[in-house]
């Protein structure tokens, strides 16, 4: 089995066969992404692979950089500004900034300029009744404008279409007649959920993804077949579940960004192996620290995902909180003389000062280099050399009377503090106690920074999995194939509505079974998103019991809701009626996952370090750390800090108060010495 | 040497002027810890407040807390330091000037010596703590070594606090008795257990008590979390370091604000902004005035000359005025420094009693206070902006014209539609970097825009239009945000309440040569209105549709009732309630945002794009930008062309 | 001046009265000192300030709620 995780700079490829994991890291071919993927696949050999699981950011990147095809947006007359309005709220950082603009607004960089957002004379009411019939002549006139403007696709989102899709379907036919065979997405088809802005933005993203991915998928498939691949090509969705490519292309907004989700799923799968069902998963890359949660073996899933602030897609996604803290976080001095770290980042370009690409400001990576944690010649598998002089000069340039030692030391501590507080905030949000959770550290900088803050967050222990630098790619081999359907229909959950809810599930189930085709022996799970009457947000994935839906089922659904609400929000409002908002079906096809080979126990020579490193700035005094090669480790090995474990794409730092134990599957478990 | 003022007015001249230049010894002498500890602890205080906010937002019932961020969480220092406020949540700016004083006033009145661990105090009185009665303030003392060393505080908007209007959002309440239940400082929890008499007092006198109660418990929970986190920090670093850090947070903010004020040229600045009228009559002017006297790193803002307090509840109190003043300086001059009470050290506010900015009980009712304080804020931004050169920005839509509608479903159940289809959302002005955004909220608040589809499920209304109006954004090198238009069709008989308080003039003043945005208006159309009939329900956006309408408010041609800057002002409270029959339509158009820079310098391609996008009409492009555009923007947008010669002629070569 | 129950002022645009105080400013030397109440960090103060340079010659805490007094302030609790 093979998986590929295409990032903005690098493409990670993993191949697993007979318990052996082989990896490759190639540069992403930004001109033609599939070429890089096929090159990576060629490096590892794809002919025997049964599956090829794919996740890529190039769709997301196209949206973020606005390198987008021209498309039209059709909506109900009077509402063409929905995509500019968003939900209109400002992020915290912008509260005192009158020059802040939402990134996708007409005053900044819209996805679709206003003249290509056309209003159609029609109106459907909240109960699904037609208030104003579709004026086909007027619609044809509007489509004529889009035709003259040579749009390459059309997104259709009419008000209340989630209750009645008749006008949207007719409009698609008219688009075919007036503009020919173009990619078209109907909001009622790809995301029949209430709340028009999220549905509209989802539909826009879906059309973009159709255009971006259509040729891409054909070329990728052809390229892989050309290498002898005869297996199944899957795309990962935002929960890192796998969807066969053809099915994925029916509603490709779902696969716009799987990356961080794969890390969560990979952690959950690995966690099951090592007996850790409760995990805080922290992926620290260059720019950000992405944190997600796994409780009782299940990732915490949201019903929406934001590509940028308030740019929403209604894709099920693992809840990832992003803290502006990473290897590239910039160190600066505030006006009153405080050292600050982040949230700004040096990114990949110019990157940290020590990269030698022109970065002038010091970053966390520069600290790690100066501290003796990073090997200047071993970075990125030896492909890059880090320059200590540049790092030093960047710190010297800071405008502060603090000594050089204090600058680096304080920045290190404050940088770690910021990450720790970010993790703690997520624990509060989700209502969990970090002491019950193991912290999984991965990403380029995760194993480097997270053990040092374990005490600040008070987690049970830190776990560095095998291949932490590529762990997200392994996550793509750690998930199941899943099919899902969802439909909004606001229904008060009372016994009298049992039949309506039953009918809804029946019709959804029929559609899902058609998609499953020959995979008949698959369990279908039912759930709903509900809200307390008077609230405006839903609690998702409340379980619905199996079997016919009767008055008793409705009662159980209400009780399940109160239970889920209490778990998610810490409060129980048993007296307030519950409204079902969205009904969901999920079919999981159990899938082969990566099997981590067991590491043999040590027999013979004791574990020897491959060197030492003098550590500065990261503790009260200079320390001598033992340096080990990860490949040398055996199950049962113990390493006392201060110590460093190096591998091709990652560095693990064990502090002087910690002891690391190598587990059966090669994981490094780090705890405070008691 | 330093000349920054201290709170006692004395001058410090023994240390370097800037905090950043102090030696470690000097730092430790003043703050009783090293600089690094102060950095870490001040971060910790802000994170503590953050964690409490996250907890509140995700576990509260009320959508006003979750979607409108209508709460504030703060930490206050001990009584012997006079209750400084080192950390405040990043929720809404509207609480920044009230929280520090509110905590001091409540605790001092209750009596510091009566406090015990496990106590939580409650107070909602605007005259003691600012804001309005819906904003209940909870205060929990944090004890260390037997004495209170801190207070953790949460203030959040409650759905109802009694009074004559459900929910409280009305501009016609005339005194404190109609306004809502006033709670002076009283014990809400004792030994961490609810004080039944206090809870009874609240629940026996307010609506929706079943919804208030769980949120009261949630707020109390977050305070316990805050106490725990704070005590952990104090245990870890020591009380002396904690006190020093509290002082440091305030001193850093004071220094930053003083530095910021130095950037403004010294002088006396006059601010004057008018509002249309109060809810009692259109017979008196309603003006906020301020004289801003700036000398070096200090400023005094004197609100003398503002109108006396209004006869209905659109007044503000002095602490709300304090908020507006601080926010003005912050937005203009010091955006990045974390806020603390020290930011007010170099700012003195003079406000005589009984003005619309300093209303007095019992007749100076305070409810919609932000309308007058944001007028003051806008006026300050405008006047001070004039001397900030290119950093100035255009004015916004000026007024949250909340529309309230009530009625009954066919089956007799009552429905309410509050704050969804009026002028609540509108444009900001442009600045040097960008055109203005059209759909936003005022600077001092934030909030999630509710979905039309959700609203249409809750009340029998159809939102027929929610879109921008051409030629309403103030012209400029960068264009002001466009006015927002909302048409709502009411499917049952309804009663409407409206208090659109700033339609007499455009409020989106231009900056750096930009033009003022157009003034808005609002109307009602009865079901048999010929314009409605002719349009089959979807009322066009044209000046000829208003002839048979009933204006609610705005400056309109007396015959056509279309917006006309030289027309006659229609006063919104000529009727206390507006009654309509099923099928009626309400229309609101907000004021437009102010432009930035010379419109004749806006690049012609951008004006072309404006016309193509419907932000500017062909006539508007010619009249306001000196750009002549030819073609059909509606049916052939990409076919528009610029008549270069005619444009050159208009723009003066 | 203050009362727990304050009627709407007759004056349409009230102004804060300032009382002239003899003496020269410690900071700038001008003879422009005035006494009046104001609101700042820490609440309400009764100050003597130089009207020329804004230096505070004297600054003492004033009534906690500014112009508002409470009937209960007079109660011996």
Cβ contact B252–A421 (<8 Å): no
Cβ neighbours of B43 in A, within 8 Å: 414, 417-418, 421
Cβ contact B19–A81 (<8 Å): no
Cβ neighbours of B175 in C, within 8 Å: none
- Contacts of A137 by beta carbon, 8 Å cutoff, 6+ apart: none
| Residue A541 phi, psi (nearest 5) | 60, 40
Q: What is the pLDDT of residue B2?
A: 39
Using alpha carbons, list the distances in angstroms from residue B296 to B254, B257, B299.
14, 11, 8
Cβ contact B361–C5 (<8 Å): yes
Is B182's pLDDT higher than 60? yes
Cβ neighbours of A108 in B, within 8 Å: 434
Is B100's pLDDT higher than 70? yes
What percent of the residues of chain C are helix, what percent strand, and what percent coil, each to the nearest 5?
5, 35, 60
Q: What is the pLDDT of residue A346?
A: 85
Touching check for B440 and chain A: CB below 8 Å? yes
Options 3.30.1490, 1.10.287, 3.30.70, 1.20.120; CATH for A481-589 is: 3.30.1490
Selection from A446, A444, A445, A476 nearest residue A463 by Cα: A446
pLDDT in tens, B481-515: 999 999 999 999 999 999 999 999 999 999 999 99
Cβ neighbours of B5 in C, within 8 Å: 55-56
Q: Which residue of B has its CA nearest to C7?
A: B363
Report the gap between the CA of B551 and the closest CA in chain A (Å). Answer: 21
Q: Which residue of B has its CA nearest to C58?
A: B9
Q: B interface mutation test: which of C32, C41, C76 has the most B CBs within 10 A? A: C41
Cβ contact C38–B349 (<8 Å): yes
How many other C-beta atoms are found inside a 10 Å radius of the C-beta of residue B459? 22
* CA B596 – CA B599 distance, rounded (Å): 8
Report the gap between the CA of B279 and the closest CA in chain A (Å). Answer: 30
* CA A216 – CA B544 distance, rounded (Å): 53
Which chains does chain C touch, 3 or more C-beta pairs < 8 A?
B
- Contacts of B201 by beta carbon, 8 Å cutoff, 6+ apart: B181, B183, B186
Cα angle: A548, vertex A552, A554; to 5 degrees? 80
Q: What is the pLDDT of residue B76?
A: 98
**Residue of A610 and A8 predicted with greater confidence:** A610
Touching check for B344 and chain C: CB below 8 Å? yes
Cβ contact B9–C11 (<8 Å): no
Burial environment of residue A595 by CB neighbours within 10 A (0 to 12, 13 to 18, 19 or more): middle
Cα angle: B430, vertex B436, B440; to 5 degrees? 130
- Contacts of A120 by beta carbon, 8 Å cutoff, 6+ apart: A74, A75, A76, A77, A134, A135, A138, A139, A142, A158, A167, A171
Is B4's pLDDT higher than 60? no
Cα angle: B609, vertex B611, B613; to 5 degrees? 65
Cβ neighbours of B298 in C, within 8 Å: 54-55
Strands A539-543 and A524-532, by their bridges, are antiparallel
Report the gap between the CA of C51 and the closest CA in chain B (Å). Answer: 9
pLDDT in tens, A394-426: 999 999 989 999 999 999 999 999 999 989 988
Cβ contact B353–C2 (<8 Å): yes
Q: What is the pLDDT of residue A465?
A: 97
Using alpha carbons, list the distances in angstroms from residue A291 to A251, A260, A430, A433, B40.
27, 9, 12, 15, 22
pLDDT in tens, A522-578: 889 999 999 998 888 889 999 999 999 999 999 999 999 999 998 877 778 888 999
Selected residues 236-255 of chain B with any CB under 8 Å from a CB in chain A: 252, 255
Touching check for B637 and chain C: CB below 8 Å? no
DSSP code at position A77: T
Cβ contact B109–C49 (<8 Å): no
| Mean pLDDT computed over A644-669 | 95
| Mean pLDDT computed over A637-660 | 95
Q: C interface mutation test: which of B4, B101, B283 has the most C CBs within 10 A? A: B101
Q: Which residue of C has its CA nearest to B176?
A: C5
Is B461's pLDDT higher than 70? yes
pLDDT band at B3 (very low <50, low <70, confident <90, very high): very low
Domain boundaries, chain B: 23-170+184-255, 263-387, 603-651
How many other C-beta atoms are found inside a 10 Å radius of the C-beta of residue A332? 17
Report the gap between the CA of C74 and the closest CA in chain B (Å). Answer: 12
pLDDT band at C1 (very low <50, low <70, confident <90, very high): very low
CB pairs under 8 A, 24+ apart, for A97-101?
A97/B331, A97/B335, A98/B331, A98/B393, A98/B428, A98/B431, A98/B443, A99/B393, A99/B431, A99/B433, A99/B434, A101/B434, A101/B437
Q: Do A410 and A402 contact (CB within 8 A), yes or no? A: yes
Touching check for B409 and chain A: CB below 8 Å? no
Q: What is the pLDDT of residue B53?
A: 93
Is A250's pLDDT higher than 70? yes
Burial environment of residue A282 by CB neighbours within 10 A (0 to 12, 13 to 18, 19 or more): buried
Is B249's pLDDT higher than 70? yes
Strands A321-323 and A329-333, by their bridges, are unpaired
Q: Do A315 and A353 contact (CB within 8 A), yes or no? A: no
pTM metric for this prediction: 0.93
- Contacts of B569 by beta carbon, 8 Å cutoff, 6+ apart: B276, B282, B503, B504, B553, B554, B555
Selected residues 522-561 of chain A with any CB under 8 Å from a CB in chain B: 532, 534-537
**Spacing of C-alpha B257 from chain mean position:** 21
Touching check for A604 and chain B: CB below 8 Å? no
Q: What is the pLDDT of residue A320?
A: 87
How many Cβ pairs within 8 Å bridge chains A and B? 230
Q: What is the pLDDT of residue A350?
A: 85
Q: Which residue of B has its CA nearest to C52?
A: B295
Is C4's pLDDT higher than 70? no
For the stretch A600-615, what's the b/e string if a residue is b when 16 or more beta carbons lie within 10 angstroms of its beta carbon?
eeeeeeebebeeebeb
Selected residues 124-153 of chain A with any CB under 8 Å from a CB in chain B: 125-126, 131-132, 141, 144-145, 148-149
Is B6's pLDDT higher than 70? no
Strands B298-302 and B347-350, by their bridges, are parallel
Mean pLDDT score of chain B: 94
Cβ contact B21–A337 (<8 Å): yes
Q: Which residue of B has its CA nearest to A114?
A: B613
Cβ neighbours of B217 in A, within 8 Å: 571
Selected residues 20-79 of chain B with any CB under 8 Å from a CB in chain A: 20-23, 35-36, 39-40, 42-44, 47, 50-51, 54-55, 58-61, 63, 66-67
Cβ contact B425–A97 (<8 Å): no
Instruction: Name residue A526's beta-bridge partners.
Output: A585
Selection from A442, A567, A432, A581 nearest residue A501 by Cα: A581
C contact set with B (CB within 8 A)? 1-2, 4-9, 11-17, 27, 36-43, 47, 49, 52-59, 64-68, 70, 72, 77
pLDDT in tens, B562-586: 999 999 999 999 998 999 999 999 9
* CA C39 – CA B323 distance, rounded (Å): 11
| Residue B150 phi, psi (nearest 5) | -165, 165
Selection from B321, B319, B122 nearest residue B212 by Cα: B122
Q: Do A448 and A651 contact (CB within 8 A), yes or no? A: yes
Which chains does chain B touch, 3 or more C-beta pairs < 8 A?
A, C
Strands A578-589 and A539-543, by their bridges, are unpaired
pLDDT in tens, A476-527: 999 999 899 999 999 999 999 999 999 999 999 999 998 888 877 788 999 9
Selection from B639, B613, B630, B636 nearest residue A145 by Cα: B636
Q: Which of A81-95, B169-183, B581-595 is the most confident on average?
A: B581-595
Domain boundaries, chain A: 481-589
């Amino acid at each position: 089995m093979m998986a590929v995780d295409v990032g903005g700079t690098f493409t990670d490829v993993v191949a697993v066969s007979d318990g052996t994991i082989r990896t490759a890291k190639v540069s992403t071919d930004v001109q033609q992404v599939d070429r890089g993927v096929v090159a990576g696949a060629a490096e590892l050999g794809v002919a025997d692979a049964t599956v090829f699981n794919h996740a890529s950011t190039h769709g997301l990147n196209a949206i973020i950089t606005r390198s987008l095809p021209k498309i039209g947006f059709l909506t109900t007359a009077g509402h063409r500004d929905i995509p500019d309005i968003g939900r209109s709220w400002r992020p915290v950082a912008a509260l005192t900034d009158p020059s802040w603009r939402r990134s996708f607004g007409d005053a900044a960089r819209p996805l679709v300029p206003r003249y290509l957002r056309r209003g159609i004379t029609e109106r459907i009411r909240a109960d699904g009744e037609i208030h104003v019939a579709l004026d086909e002549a007027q619609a044809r006139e509007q489509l004529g404008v889009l035709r003259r403007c040579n749009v390459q696709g059309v997104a259709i989102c009419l008000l209340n279409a989630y209750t009645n899709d008749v006008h949207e379907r007719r409009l698609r036919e008219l688009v075919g007649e007036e503009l020919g065979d173009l990619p078209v997405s109907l909001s009622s088809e790809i995301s029949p959920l209430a709340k028009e802005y999220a549905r509209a933005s989802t539909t826009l993203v879906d059309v973009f993804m159709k255009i971006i991915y259509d040729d891409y998928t054909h070329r990728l498939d052809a390229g892989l077949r050309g290498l002898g691949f005869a297996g199944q090509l899957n795309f990962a969705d935002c929960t890192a579940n796998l969807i066969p490519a053809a099915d994925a292309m029916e509603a490709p907004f779902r696969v716009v960004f799987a990356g961080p989700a794969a890390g969560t799923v990979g952690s959950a799968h690995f966690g099951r192996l090592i007996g850790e069902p409760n995990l805080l998963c922290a992926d620290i890359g260059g720019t950000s620290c992405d944190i997600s949660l796994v409780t009782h073996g299940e990732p915490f899933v949201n019903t929406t995902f934001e590509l940028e602030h308030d740019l929403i897609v209604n894709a099920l996604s693992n809840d990832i909180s992003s803290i502006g803290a990473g290897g590239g976080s910039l160190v600066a001095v505030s006006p009153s003389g405080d050292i600050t770290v982040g949230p700004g980042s040096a990114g990949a370009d110019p990157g940290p000062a020590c990269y030698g690409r022109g970065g002038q400001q010091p970053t966390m990576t520069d600290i790690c280099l100066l501290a003796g944690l990073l090997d200047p010649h071993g970075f990125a598998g030896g492909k890059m050399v880090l320059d200590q002089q540049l790092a030093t000069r960047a710190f010297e340039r800071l405008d502060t009377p603090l000594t050089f030692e204090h600058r680096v030391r304080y920045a290190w501590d404050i940088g770690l503090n910021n990450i720790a507080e970010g993790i703690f905030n997520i624990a509060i949000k989700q209502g969990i106690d970090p002491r019950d959770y193991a912290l999984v550290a991965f990403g380029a900088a995760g194993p480097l920074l997270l053990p040092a803050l374990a005490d600040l967050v008070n987690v049970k222990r830190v776990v560095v999995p095998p291949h932490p630098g590529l762990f997200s790619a392994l996550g793509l081999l750690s998930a199941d194939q899943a099919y899902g359907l969802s439909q909004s229909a606001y229904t008060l959950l009372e016994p009298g509505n049992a039949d309506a809810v039953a009918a809804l599930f029946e019709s959804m189930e029929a559609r899902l079974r058609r998609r499953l085709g020959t995979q008949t022996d698959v369990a279908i799970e039912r759930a709903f998103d509900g809200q307390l009457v008077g609230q405006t947000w839903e609690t998702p994935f409340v379980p619905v019991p199996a079997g016919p839906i009767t008055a008793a089922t409705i009662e159980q659904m209400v009780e399940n809701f109160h239970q889920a609400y209490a778990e998610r929000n810490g409060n129980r409002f048993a007296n307030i009626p519950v409204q079902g908002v969205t009904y969901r079906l999920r079919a999981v096809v159990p899938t082969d996952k990566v099997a981590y080979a067991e590491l043999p126990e040590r027999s013979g020579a004791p574990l020897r370090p491959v060197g030492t490193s003098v550590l500065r700035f990261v503790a009260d005094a200079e320390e001598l750390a033992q340096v080990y090669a990860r490949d040398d480790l055996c199950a049962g090995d113990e390493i006392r800090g201060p110590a460093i474990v190096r591998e091709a794409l990652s560095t693990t730092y064990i502090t002087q108060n910690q002891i690391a134990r190598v587990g059966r599957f090669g994981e490094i478990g780090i705890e405070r010495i008691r | 040497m330093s000349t920054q003022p201290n709170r006692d007015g004395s001058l410090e001249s023994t240390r370097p002027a800037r905090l950043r230049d102090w030696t470690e010894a000097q730092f430790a002498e003043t703050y009783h810890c090293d600089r690094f500890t102060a950095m870490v602890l001040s971060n910790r205080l802000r994170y503590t407040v953050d964690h409490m906010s996250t907890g509140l937002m995700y576990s509260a019932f009320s959508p006003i807390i979750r979607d409108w961020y209508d709460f504030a969480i703060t930490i206050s220092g001990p009584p012997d330091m006079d209750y400084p406020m080192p950390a405040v949540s990043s929720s809404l700016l509207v609480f920044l000037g009230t929280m520090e004083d509110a905590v001091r006033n409540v605790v001092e009145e209750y009596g510091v010596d009566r406090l015990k661990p496990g106590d939580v105090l409650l107070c909602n009185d605007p005259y003691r703590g600012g804001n309005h009665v819906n904003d209940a303030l909870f205060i929990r003392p944090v004890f260390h070594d037997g004495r209170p060393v801190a207070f953790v505080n949460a203030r959040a908007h409650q759905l109802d606090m009694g009074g004559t209007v459900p929910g409280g959002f009305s501009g016609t309440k005339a005194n404190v008795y109609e306004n809502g239940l006033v709670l002076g400082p009283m014990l809400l929890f004792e030994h961490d257990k609810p004080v039944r008499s206090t809870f009874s007092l609240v629940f026996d006198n307010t609506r929706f008590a079943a919804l208030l109660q769980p949120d009261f418990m949630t707020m109390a929970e977050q305070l316990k979390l805050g106490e725990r986190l704070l005590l952990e920090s104090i245990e870890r670093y020591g009380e002396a370091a904690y006190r020093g850090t509290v002082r440091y947070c305030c001193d850093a903010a004071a220094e930053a604000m003083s530095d910021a004020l130095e950037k403004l040229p010294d002088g006396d600045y006059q601010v004057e902004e008018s509002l249309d009228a109060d809810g009692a009559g259109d017979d008196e002017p309603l003006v906020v005035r301020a004289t801003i006297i700036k000398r070096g790193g200090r400023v005094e803002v004197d609100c003398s000359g503002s109108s006396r307090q209004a006869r209905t509840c659109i007044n503000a109190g002095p602490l709300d005025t304090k908020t507006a003043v601080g926010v003005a300086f912050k937005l203009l001059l010091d955006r990045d420094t974390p806020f603390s009470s020290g930011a007010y050290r170099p700012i003195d506010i003079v406000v005589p009693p009984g003005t619309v900015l300093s209303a007095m009980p019992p007749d100076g009712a305070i409810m919609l206070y932000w309308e007058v304080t944001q007028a003051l804020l806008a006026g300050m931004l405008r006047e001070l902006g004039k001397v900030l050169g290119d950093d100035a920005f255009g004015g916004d839509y000026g007024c949250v014209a909340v529309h309230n509608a009530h009625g009954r479903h066919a089956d007799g159940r009552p429905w309410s539609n509050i704050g969804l289809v009026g002028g609540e959302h509108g444009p900001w002005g442009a600045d040097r970097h960008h055109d203005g955004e059209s759909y936003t909220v005022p600077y001092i608040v934030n909030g999630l825009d509710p979905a039309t589809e959700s609203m249409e499920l809750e009340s029998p209304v159809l939102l027929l239009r929610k879109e921008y109006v051409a030629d309403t954004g103030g012209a400029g090198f960068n264009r002001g945000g466009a006015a927002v238009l909302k048409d709502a069709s009411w499917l049952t008989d309804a009663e409407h309440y409206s208090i659109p308080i700033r339609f007499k003039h455009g409020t989106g003043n231009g900056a750096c040569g930009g033009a003022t945005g157009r003034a808005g208006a609002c109307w009602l159309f009865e079901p048999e209105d010929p314009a409605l009939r002719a349009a089959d329900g979807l009322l066009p956006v044209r000046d000829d549709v208003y002839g048979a309408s009933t204006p609610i408010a705005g400056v309109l041609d007396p015959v056509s009732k279309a917006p006309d800057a030289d027309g006659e002002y229609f006063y919104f409270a000529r009727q206390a309630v507006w009654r309509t029959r099923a099928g009626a339509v309400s229309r609101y158009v907000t004021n437009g945002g102010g432009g930035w820079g010379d419109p004749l310098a806006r690049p012609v391609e951008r004006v072309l794009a404006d016309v193509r996008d419907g932000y500017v009409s062909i006539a508007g492009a010619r009249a306001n930008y000196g750009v002549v555009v030819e073609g059909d923007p509606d049916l052939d947008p990409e076919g528009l062309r610029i008549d270069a010669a005619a444009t050159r002629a208009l723009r003066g070569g | 001046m203050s009362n727990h129950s304050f009627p709407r002022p007759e004056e349409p645009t009230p102004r804060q009265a300032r009382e002239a105080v003899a003496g020269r400013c410690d900071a700038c030397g001008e003879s422009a000192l005035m006494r009046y109440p104001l609101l700042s960090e820490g609440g309400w103060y009764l100050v003597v300030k130089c009207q020329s340079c804004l230096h505070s010659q004297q600054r003492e805490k004033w009534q906690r709620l500014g112009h508002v007094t409470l009937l209960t302030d007079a109660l011996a609790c």
